[in-house]
Amino acid sequence: MGEHVVVIYPHPDDEAFGAAGTITTFREKGIPVTYLCGTLGEMGRNMGNPTFATRETLPEIRKAELIKACEVLDIHLEMLGYRDKTIEFESTEDVAAHLFQFLNEIKPSLVITHYPGHAVHPDHNAFGAAAIRAVEMFPAAERPTVWAQAISNTHVEELGGPDIENDVSDRISKKLETIMAHKSQADGMLKSVKEEADDIELATKQWLGVESFYTWEFN
């Protein structure tokens, strides 16, 4: 089985803030990466000041930004069509079966997703749980490795330190370019950074220069 990485996150920009440096490292090695993105983030609160979008126009704006970000990263994108902020109400088994259709076709060597219960947002937790369940559907000998990303304030205390810590500081320009592709969200998120730092790239490196994951252990 050849190497192929599948990234499973629920929102446009999750890949940018969470794993863009790691993704870049894989692509530099010629390893293909596929992003299974759950929603278009259409319920995002940031619609600009002054306002640049309405609730009706935001989905298409975020879709275009997602496509651009994936072009920056040079990865294949699949948009799965779930509704933002509702994944927690979907059947985990149904979402897992949907994800498994893609995974079974791709046969990835590695899956990157959120760590259920330690990913803050209900969509993150629910989609991470479904992703791990989808991987579990493979026979044990055929399962890809899973890197689960925990971002809760208590994850180190409760889980111990992550066993994968990727220093992506030398790829921060690509990560920042990916973040900025999600302009509707990035402008607001980076506003305070821009106000406090003369060098936005250096500030981003200090903030997001390490990407950490836990290797998921299946029982």
Say yes or no: domain 5-215 is CATH 3.20.20.60: no
Residue 216 CB-half CA count within 13 A: 25
Beta strands in 80-167 (DSSP E): 110-114, 145-149, 164-167
pLDDT in tens, 42-95: 987 665 555 667 778 889 999 999 999 999 999 999 999 999 999 999 999 999
Element (H, E) at 96: helix 92-106
- The set of residues, in sequence order, having a beta carbon less than 8 Å from that of 33 and lying 6+ positions away, is 4, 5, 6, 7, 23, 26, 27, 73, 75, 76
- The set of residues, in sequence order, having a beta carbon less than 8 Å from that of 42 and lying 6+ positions away, is 55, 58, 59, 62, 83, 84
**Cross-strand pairs, 5:** 33, 110
- CA distance readout (Å), 93 to 104, 120, 129: 15, 21, 10
pLDDT per 10-residue tile (average), the chain, 219 residues: 92 97 98 98 69 80 97 98 97 98 98 98 98 98 98 97 97 94 83 68 85 96
The predicted structure's pLDDT at residue 47: 58
Element (H, E) at 204: helix 200-208
Alpha carbon distance 36, 80 (integer Å): 7
In the DSSP assignment, the letter for residue 53 is -
Sheet of 33-37, strand order: 76-79, 33-37, 5-9, 110-114, 145-149, 210-215, 164-167
The predicted structure's pLDDT at residue 194: 64
